[in-house]
C-alpha cells in the first residue's frame, strides 16, 4: 500500500506544533497501525530525520499506552479496538491519513503524538482504591459476592485508562474513566466503607484537574476500546448525589 | 562470589516462620528514617512499593512507562494459582510446592518454592480485599479453573485478563501511598545504572525520558523488579519497551546472573506476518483442546487453500507422533514439533513459519455456537490481527518466547550478590527452575512484593543502619559520568543502521540458534555471530536527535546495546549447560520420543555468571541444589 500521512509534529510542550506531510510506500496491509509508523520512522532515520515520537508498549490492546487520534477519531475507525490492534487492511491504498495526539486541555502534548495523562493518575491517587493494608485481609471467601455484581464490577474494571473518552469529548470530560473506577469499587461489598468519600474526592479532583462536564452525547463510550457502558456515569452521579446529601444532613444534624 | 542461599534451618514447612521470627525488624518509629528505591511498577515492584509505603518507609518508585498502571504484568491472561483447596480436591501448600518443583524440572530451590506455595493463599485474600473482581460462582464464592501441570483446580481468574486486574489492584494500593506522600513516583524514568557505596547498593542513576536529564537517587536499599528478557529475541510476547538494562547493569556491577538459558516458549501464538512485525501475540493454550494441528504432507501443497487439501494429504503430526497425548502434547514438545515441520519445508503462511490449528472437526461435532462460546474472544482477536475467519479456515499458529525463568541470582531473602540490592518477580531466577507452570508468574510477583520483601528487607536495613548517602558523593558522580559517556558514544557513532535493525538481526540469531532447540554447533555459531554484530553496532549505528530531549532512538539504542551483550551471555550459558531440562532443550540430549534428558549428576545446580569486564569472558559459579523433600524423577506427562 501507498499512503499519504499528515502527522502532528511538535518539538516540546512549550513549542508550537503543526501537521507535516509524509509519503510512505510498501506498507503491508497485514501490519498494525503502529508497525506502519515503525516503517515510517525507519525511513526517516535512514534519511537522517528525527522519527515521530508516539506512545506504545504492550501492542496487544491492554496496557492503554497507545493514544492516537486517527482521521479525527481516538484510536481510529474500528470499533472496540485500540490503535495498536488496528490493522492497515482497514485503509485504502493511496489514502490520506491524519494522525494527531489525543487532544484535551488536561492532556498537554509532550512531544509529537505523546501526551501527558498524569491527571488520570492524580484522580486515582485521591480515592480510586480500597484501603486494604497488606496482611489485614480476611479470607477471600469470607464475603460472598453474587455473580451478577462481580460481573458488573468486572465490566467497569476492564477500563485500560487510555484517555480516548476524554479525547473524544468536546468538553474533555473524564466522567467515563472516573465512573468506571467508581462503579468497579462501589459495586463491591469491599468498597462500601469508603463509597461516599471515594466518589466525592474523585469527582472534585476530576474538576480541579480541568476535565469538563458531561453533556450526554456518549462519544466517550462510542470510542472506548473496552466498550465501557454509559451506565457507569449514571452510577457515579447517583453515588455522588447520595454522598452529597448525606454530607448536608450530617452537617445540619 | 558468595552464593550462600541463607536457607533457614528446620523442616520445610517451618522454615519461613522460623526465619520471620529470627530476622531483625525495624520499629515503626524508625522506618521513616529509611529510604528505599523500587525500580519497576509491575506486580512485584508495585506491590512492594505499596507495602513498604504502608509500613512507613520512604519509597521512591521508578518506571519507564507514563504510568505505573501500564507495566507488562497487565498482559497476563490466564490466572493466578493458590493452594486454597476451595474445591476440596486435595490441594495443599505441599502439592502446589511439589507441582512447581516438578514442573521446573528439578532446577529450583526447595525452600523458596515451598514459601511461595505457603503464601499463595494470602495473595488471593489480599487481592479480594483490594477489589479485584475475580470470577465467582452463582453462590457468590470464588471460582477456579484448572491449568497445565496440575491435577487440581487452583487457578483464580478475572475473565481473560487476570494480570490486568491484579496489576490494577497493586496500582490502586500504590496510588494510595502516592496520594499520602509516602511513595514518590517517577514515571518516564529509566534506570541506567546502579550505584555502589562501599560494596552496598545505595542508589541508582536514571535518565528522565521527557527531557533527557541524568539524575542520581540515593537510598538505604535498592529493589529491582524490572521483568524478564524475552525481548532479546526481538519478537516475543513482551511489551515493546521491556528490556534487560536494569538487571544487566546490576550484573556488570557485580550481581550474579543465574541460568540465563532458561527461557519459555509458548506454542500457540499468532505467527509472524512479515518483516514489519514488531511483536507476537499469544492466544490461550486452551485452543488445543478442540483444534487439530497439522501441516501438508507435501511441501508443494503449502501455498494451497488449506480447505482444498485432502484429508490423506495432511500430516496431523502431533497425533501421529504422540498418539496418547495428541494435540495436547506438552508445551515444549508441541513447540519443537512445529519448528521441525517448518524446517522440513512444510510450514504454512508468510515465510513458511506456521502450522494449522483446525477447528473443522470440532465445529461439525459440537456446532459452531459451542466453539464460539468457548473461544469466541480468541477467534475475534485472531481475526483482528490476521484478517482471517478461523471458523471458516484453519488458524495458523507458531511458538513464541513469552517468559524467562533465569534472572539475577538471589538468596532466600531475595537479595542479590550485591548487599542491599534485592530482586523481585521475573527479574530474579528464584522459583520456577527450568520451566514455569501456567498461572505461577502472577503468584510469584505478588508473593515477592506483598509478603516476602517487607520482612527480608527490614533485616538488611536494621543491620545496615539508616543513612542514605548524599548524591554528591564521588560514587554517584562517577556513575553519572559513566552513563553520560555511554550515551555520548551512542550518539556519536553516526553510522548508517538504526538500532531497531540491529535488534531484529540479534533476535534472528538468538531465535535460530538458541530458541526452541539448541545444539553445540549452533550455539558456537551464535557465539561468533553476536560479537560481530556488536562490533558493527558500535561502528555503524545511527541515532538521531540529542541527549537532552525526548529521544526514542537513544532509548532504544541503549537497550539494544545491552541486549547484544546479554545475548552472548544467554548463549554461553546454553552452551555450558550440556543437558536438556525444562525450557532448555539441547538436541544432543533427548529420548527417541523427543523427551528431554537431564543430567542430574552434573547439573543439579544453578549456574551463576560473574562479570569480568569488557575484555574477559564471565566466570561461572555454582550453587548446588539440595533436594531433601522430593526425589528427582523423569518429568513425564504420559
Domain end residue (candidates: B352, B373, B399): B399
Helices within B418-473 (DSSP H only): 441-446, 453-464
Averaged pLDDT score across all residues of chain B: 95
* CATH number of the domain to which A205 belongs: 1.10.1060.10
Same domain, A125 and A244: yes
- Kindly report the number of other CB atoms within 10 A of residue A25's CB atom: 9
Name the residue range of residue B296's domain. 265-399
Q: Let me know if B35 is a catalytic residue.
A: no
Same domain, A153 and A232: yes
Same domain, B417 and B394: no
- Give the Cα-Cα-Cα angle B565, B413, B101 (nearest 5 degrees): 80
* CATH number of the domain to which B394 belongs: 3.90.700.10
Bridging pattern class, strands B221-224 and B257-258: unpaired
Q: Residue B499: pLDDT above 70?
A: yes
Q: Decide: helix, strand or coil at residue A176.
A: helix
Domain end residue (candidates: B399, B427, B444): B399
Residue B3, in any domain of the structure: no
Same domain, A124 and A244: yes
Please give the pLDDT value at position B147: 75
Same domain, A43 and A80: yes
Name the residue range of residue A167's domain. 118-252
Same domain, B549 and B460: yes
Distance CA B274, CA A244 (A): 57
Residue B633, in any domain of the structure: no
Dihedral angle sign, alpha carbons of residues B322, B325, B326, B332: negative
Same domain, A130 and A234: yes
Q: Which residue out of A84, A127, A129 would a mutagenesis test of the B interface target, given it has the greatest number of B Cβ atoms within 10 Å? A: A129
Distance CA B382, CA B281 (A): 9
pLDDT tens digits, one per residue of B65-100: 999 999 999 999 889 999 999 999 999 999 999 999
Distance CA A158, CA A154 (A): 6
- pLDDT bracket for residue B160 (50, 70, 90): confident
Is the CB of A132 less than 8 angstroms away from the CB of B173? Answer: yes
Q: Residue B369: pLDDT above 70?
A: yes
Q: How many CB pairs below 8 Å do chains A and B form together?
A: 221
Domain end residue (candidates: A83, A111, A139): A111
Query: Domain count of chain B?
Result: 2
- Which residue of chain B is at minimal alpha-carbon distance from A64? B70
Dihedral angle sign, alpha carbons of residues B197, B199, B201, B204: positive
Q: Which three cell numbers stand for residue B40?
A: 519497576
Please give the pLDDT value at position B444: 98
Residue B87, in any domain of the structure: no
Answer whether 0.90 is exceeded by the pTM.
yes
Same domain, A134 and A46: no
DSSP class of B391: T
Please pick, among B35, B109, B331, B336, the residue that the annotation labels catalytic: B331
Q: Which three cell numbers stand for residue B336?
A: 519443537
Q: Residue B638: pLDDT above 60?
A: no
Same domain, A246 and A122: yes
Same domain, B556 and B409: yes
Query: Domain count of chain A?
Result: 2
**How many percent of chain B have pLDDT more than 70?**
99
Please give the pLDDT value at position B285: 79
pLDDT tens digits, one per residue of B247-287: 999 999 999 999 999 999 999 999 999 999 999 999 887 78
Q: Residue B353: pLDDT above 60?
A: yes
Domain end residue (candidates: B399, B431, B461): B399
- Kindly report the number of other CB atoms within 10 A of residue B321's CB atom: 17
CA B385 to chain centre: 24
Q: How many residues does chain B have?
A: 638
- Kindly report the number of other CB atoms within 10 A of residue A2's CB atom: 11
Please give the pLDDT value at position A195: 97
Residue B40 gets the label, from left (phi > 0), alpha (psi -120 to 50) or beta, of: left
Q: Residue B501: pLDDT above 90?
A: yes
- Which residue of chain B is at minimal alpha-carbon distance from A89? B387
**Which chain A residues have a beta carbon less than 8 Å from that of B70?**
57-58, 63-65
- Cα-based torsion angle of the residue sequence B178, B182, B188, B189 in order, rounded to the nearest 10 degrees: -170
Bridging pattern class, strands A68-70 and A73-74: antiparallel
Residue B146, in any domain of the structure: no
Please give the pLDDT value at position B595: 83
Distance CA B440, CA B80 (A): 6
Same domain, B231 and B344: no
Segment B574-602 mean pLDDT: 94
**Which chain B residues have a beta carbon less than 8 Å from that of A39?**
276
- pLDDT bracket for residue B635 (50, 70, 90): low
How distant is the Cα of A180 from the closest Cα of chain B, in angstroms?
Answer: 13
Distance CA B323, CA B317 (A): 10
Same domain, A20 and A132: no
Considering only CA atoms, give the Rg of chain B: 24
- pLDDT bracket for residue B622 (50, 70, 90): very high
Segment A107-114 mean pLDDT: 98
Segment B174-182 mean pLDDT: 98
Domain end residue (candidates: A95, A111, A127): A111
Please give the pLDDT value at position B636: 62
Same domain, A127 and A243: yes
Same domain, B327 and B371: yes
Same domain, B510 and B586: yes
In SS3 terms, B147-160 reads as CCCCCCCCEECCCC
- pLDDT bracket for residue B637 (50, 70, 90): low
Is the CB of B451 less than 8 angstroms away from the CB of A144? Answer: no
Distance CA A220, CA A111 (A): 24
* CATH number of the domain to which B578 belongs: 3.50.50.60
Q: Which residue out of B70, B134, B457, B504 would a mutagenesis test of the A interface target, given it has the greatest number of A Cβ atoms within 10 Å? A: B70
Contacts of A47 by beta carbon, 8 Å cutoff, 6+ apart: none
Segment A119-146 mean pLDDT: 98
Please give the pLDDT value at position B331: 77
pLDDT tens digits, one per residue of B307-332: 999 999 999 999 998 888 788 877 77
Q: Which three cell numbers stand for residue A235?
A: 452510577
Same domain, B575 and B551: yes
- pLDDT bracket for residue A253 (50, 70, 90): low
Same domain, B315 and B233: no
Same domain, B442 and B567: yes
Residue B622, in any domain of the structure: no
Please give the pLDDT value at position B101: 95
- Kindly report the number of other CB atoms within 10 A of residue A9's CB atom: 16
Distance CA B347, CA B565 (A): 32
Please give the pLDDT value at position B633: 86
Same domain, A132 and A244: yes
* CATH number of the domain to which A33 belongs: 3.10.20.30
Is the CB of A146 less than 8 angstroms away from the CB of B172? Answer: no
Same domain, B245 and B344: no
Is the CB of A188 less than 8 angstroms away from the CB of B75? Answer: no
Residue B538, in any domain of the structure: yes
pLDDT tens digits, one per residue of A177-233: 999 999 999 999 999 999 999 999 999 999 999 999 999 999 999 999 999 999 999
Domain end residue (candidates: A61, A88, A111): A111
How distant is the Cα of A5 from the closest Cα of chain B, in angstroms?
Answer: 18
How distant is the Cα of B125 from the closest Cα of chain A, in angstroms?
Answer: 4
pLDDT tens digits, one per residue of B403-444: 999 999 999 999 999 999 999 999 999 899 999 988 899 999
How distant is the Cα of B126 from the closest Cα of chain A, in angstroms?
Answer: 5
Bridge partners, B142 (sequence order): B136
- In the block, residue with C-alpha cell 484522580: A123
- pLDDT bracket for residue B288 (50, 70, 90): confident
**Which chain B residues have a beta carbon less than 8 Å from that of A28?**
273-274, 276
Averaged pLDDT score across all residues of chain A: 97
pLDDT tens digits, one per residue of B11-56: 999 999 999 999 999 999 999 999 999 999 999 999 999 999 999 9
Helices within B545-606 (DSSP H only): 552-576, 600-603
**How many percent of chain B have pLDDT more than 90?**
89
Q: Which residue out of B155, B210, B276 would a mutagenesis test of the A interface target, given it has the greatest number of A Cβ atoms within 10 Å? A: B276
Same domain, B332 and B438: no
Is the CB of A129 less than 8 angstroms away from the CB of B139? Answer: no
Same domain, A48 and A149: no
Same domain, A128 and A92: no
In 3D, which of B130, B328, B293, B233 has the Cα closest to residue B567?
A: B233
Same domain, B551 and B575: yes
H or E stretch covering B164: helix B162-179
Amino acid at each position: 500500500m501507498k499512503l499519504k500521512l499528515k502527522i502532528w509534529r511538535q518539538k516540546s510542550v512549550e513549542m508550537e506544533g503543526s501537521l507535516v506531510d509524509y509519503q510512505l510506500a510498501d506498507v503491508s496491509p497485514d501490519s498494525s497501525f503502529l508497525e506502519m509508523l515503525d516503517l515510517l520512522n525507519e525511513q526517516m532515520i535512514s534519511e537522517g530525520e528525527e522519527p515521530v515520537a508516539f506512545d506504545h508498549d504492550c501492542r496487544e490492546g491492554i496496557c492503554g499506552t497507545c493514544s492516537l487520534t486517527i482521521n479525527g477519531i481516538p484510536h481510529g475507525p474500528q470499533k472496540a479496538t485500540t490503535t495498536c490492534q488496528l490493522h492497515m487492511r482497514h485503509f485504502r491504498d493511496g489514502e490520506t491519513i491524519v494522525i494527531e495526539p489525543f487532544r484535551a486541555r488536561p492532556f498537554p502534548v509532550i512531544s509529537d503524538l505523546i501526551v501527558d495523562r498524569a491527571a488520570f493518575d492524580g484522580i486515582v491517587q485521591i480515592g480510586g482504591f480500597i484501603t486494604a493494608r497488606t496482611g489485614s485481609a480476611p479470607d477471600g471467601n469470607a464475603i460472598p459476592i453474587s455473580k451478577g455484581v462481580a460481573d458488573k464490577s468486572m465490566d467497569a474494571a476492564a477500563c485500560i485508562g487510555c484517555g480516548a473518552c476524554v479525547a473524544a469529548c468536546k468538553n474533555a470530560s473524564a466522567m467515563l474513566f472516573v465512573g468506571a473506577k467508581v462503579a468497579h469499587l462501589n459495586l463491591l461489598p469491599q468498597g462500601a466503607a469508603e463509597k461516599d468519600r471515594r466518589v466525592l474526592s474523585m469527582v472534585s479532583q476530576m474538576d480541579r484537574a480541568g476535565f469538563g462536564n458531561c453533556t450526554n452525547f456518549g462519544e466517550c463510550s462510542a470510542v472506548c476500546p473496552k466498550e465501557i457502558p454509559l451506565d457507569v456515569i449514571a452510577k457515579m452521579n447517583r453515588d455522588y448525589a447520595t454522598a452529597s446529601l448525606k454530607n448536608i444532613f450530617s452537617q445540619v444534624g | 562470589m558468595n552464593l550462600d542461599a541463607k536457607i533457614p534451618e528446620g523442616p520445610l514447612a517451618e522454615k519461613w516462620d522460623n526465619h520471620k521470627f529470627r530476622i531483625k525488624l525495624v520499629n515503626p518509629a524508625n522506618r521513616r528514617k529509611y529510604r528505599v528505591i523500587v525500580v519497576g511498577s509491575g506486580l512485584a515492584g508495585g506491590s512492594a512499593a505499596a507495602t513498604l509505603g504502608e509500613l512507613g518507609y520512604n519509597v521512591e518508585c521508578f518506571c519507564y512507562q507514563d504510568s505505573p498502571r501500564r507495566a507488562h504484568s497487565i498482559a497476563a491472561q490466564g490466572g493466578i494459582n493458590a493452594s486454597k483447596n476451595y474445591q476440596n480436591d486435595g490441594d495443599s501448600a505441599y502439592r502446589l510446592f511439589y507441582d512447581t518443583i516438578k514442573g521446573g524440572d528439578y532446577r529450583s530451590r526447595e525452600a523458596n518454592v515451598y514459601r511461595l506455595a505457603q503464601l499463595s493463599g494470602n495473595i488471593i485474600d489480599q487481592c479480594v480485599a483490594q477489589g479485584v473482581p475475580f470470577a465467582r460462582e452463582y453462590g457468590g464464592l470464588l471460582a477456579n479453573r484448572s491449568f497445565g501441570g496440575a491435577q487440581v483446580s487452583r487457578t483464580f481468574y478475572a475473565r481473560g485478563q487476570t494480570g490486568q486486574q491484579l496489576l490494577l489492584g497493586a496500582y490502586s494500593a500504590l496510588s494510595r501511598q502516592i496520594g499520602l506522600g509516602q511513595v514518590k513516583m517517577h514515571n518516564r524514568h529509566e534506570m541506567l545504572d546502579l550505584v555502589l557505596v562501599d560494596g552496598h547498593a545505595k542508589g541508582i542513576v536514571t535518565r528522565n525520558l521527557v527531557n533527557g536529564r541524568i539524575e542520581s537517587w540515593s537510598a538505604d536499599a535498592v529493589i529491582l523488579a524490572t521483568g524478564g528478557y524475552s525481548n532479546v529475541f526481538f519478537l516475543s510476547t513482551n511489551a515493546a519497551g521491556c528490556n534487560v538494562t536494569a538487571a544487566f547493569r546490576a550484573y556488570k556491577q557485580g550481581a550474579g546472573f543465574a541460568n540465563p538459558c532458561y527461557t519459555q516458549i509458548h506454542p500457540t501464538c499468532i505467527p509472524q506476518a512479515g518483516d514489519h512485525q514488531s511483536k507476537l501475540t499469544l492466544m490461550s493454550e486452551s485452543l488445543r483442546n478442540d483444534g487439530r494441528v497439522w501441516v501438508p504432507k507435501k511441501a508443494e501443497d503449502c501455498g494451497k487453500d488449506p480447505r482444498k487439501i485432502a484429508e490423506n494429504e495432511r500430516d496431523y503430526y502431533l497425533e501421529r507422533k504422540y498418539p496418547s497425548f495428541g494435540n495436547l502434547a506438552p508445551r515444549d514438545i508441541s513447540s519443537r514439533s512445529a519448528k521441525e515441520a517448518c524446517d522440513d519445508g512444510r510450514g504454512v503462511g508468510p515465510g513458511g513459519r506456521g502450522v494449522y490449528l483446525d477447528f473443522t472437526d470440532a465445529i461439525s461435532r459440537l456446532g459452531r455456537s459451542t466453539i464460539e462460546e468457548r473461544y469466541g474472544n480468541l477467534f475475534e482477536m485472531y481475526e483482528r490481527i490476521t484478517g482471517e475467519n478461523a471458523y471458516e479456515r484453519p488458524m495458523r499458529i507458531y511458538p513464541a518466547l513469552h517468559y524467562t525463568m533465569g534472572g539475577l541470582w538471589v538468596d532466600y531473602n531475595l537479595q542479590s550478590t550485591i548487599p542491599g540490592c534485592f530482586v523481585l518477580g521475573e527479574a530474579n531466577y528464584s522459583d520456577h527452575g527450568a520451566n514455569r507452570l501456567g498461572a505461577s508468574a502472577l503468584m510469584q510477583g505478588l508473593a515477592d512484593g506483598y509478603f516476602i520483601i517487607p520482612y527480608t528487607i527490614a533485616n538488611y536495613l536494621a543491620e545496615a543502619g539508616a543513612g542514605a548517602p548524599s548524591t554528591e558523593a564521588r560514587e554517584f558522580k562517577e556513575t553519572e559520568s559513566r552513563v553520560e559517556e555511554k550515551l555520548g558514544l551512542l550518539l556519536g557513532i553516526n553510522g548508517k543502521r538504526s538500532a531497531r535493525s540491529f535488534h531484529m538481526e540479534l533476535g534472528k540469531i538468538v531465535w535460530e540458534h538458541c530458541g526452541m532447540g539448541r545444539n553445540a554447533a549452533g550455539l558456537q555459531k551464535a557465539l561468533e555471530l553476536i560479537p560481530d554484530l556488536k562490533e558493527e553496532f558500535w561502528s555503524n549505528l545511527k541515532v538521531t536527535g540529542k541527549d537532552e530531549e525526548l529521544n526514542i532512538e537513544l532509548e532504544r539504542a541503549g537497550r539494544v546495546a545491552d541486549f547484544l551483550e546479554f545475548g552472548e551471555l544467554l548463549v554461553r550459558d546454553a552452551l555450558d549447560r550440556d543437558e536438556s531440562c525444562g525450557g532448555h532443550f539441547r538436541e544432543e540430549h533427548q529420548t527417541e520420543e523427543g523427551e528431554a534428558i537431564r543430567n542430574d549428576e552434573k547439573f543439579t545446580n544453578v549456574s551463576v555468571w560473574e562479570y569480568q569486564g569488557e575484555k574477559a569472558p564471565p566466570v561461572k559459579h555454582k550453587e548446588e541444589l539440595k533436594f531433601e523433600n522430593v526425589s528427582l524423577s523423569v518429568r513425564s506427562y504420559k
